[in-house]
Amino acid sequence: MRIHLTSVFVDDQDKALRFYTDVLGFTKKTDLPLGADRWLTVVASEDPEGTELLLEPDGHPAVKPFTSALMEDGIPAAAFAVDDVRAEFDRLRGLGVRFTQEPLTTGPVTTAVLDDTCGNLIQLVHSA
């Protein structure tokens, strides 16, 4: 068994697609109309057949209170592995990305947390 698909709720699918592809570097995998919204997924550019991230519309009534509470408490909605947290922090900050936590090393793990501009905090993580 392995993870095939996971999701983050986003407040604007077009804005999310631009951020996740143009800024974070993911590649669009699927973009299908689904009523008023889309089935919109991205994948790691280095692994086009890997786990898909669904940029899921936040229209369900339970979503806004949930995502707002996570944001207010500083809890990331997802974690993405990177080879070098400091290098990604520097690259993304240079692109104007807002971080709520600068790189922090705790034992063998280094993390940083960014705002995806679509309603989520995302953690970058590297385990030594």
CA distance 112 to 101: 5
List C-alpha distances in Å: 121 to 34, 46, 77, 80, 110: 26, 23, 6, 11, 16
| 86-127 residue pLDDT tens | 999 999 999 999 999 999 999 999 999 999 999 999 999 999
Closest CA to 127 of 105, 113, 110: 110
pLDDT band at residue 46, thresholds of 50, 70 and 90?
Answer: very high
Q: How confident is the model at residue 128, as a pLDDT?
A: 83
C-alpha 11/C-alpha 128 separation (Å) is 34
The pTM (predicted TM-score) of the whole model is 0.95
Q: What pLDDT, in 10s, does the model give residues 53-68?
A: 999 999 999 999 999 9
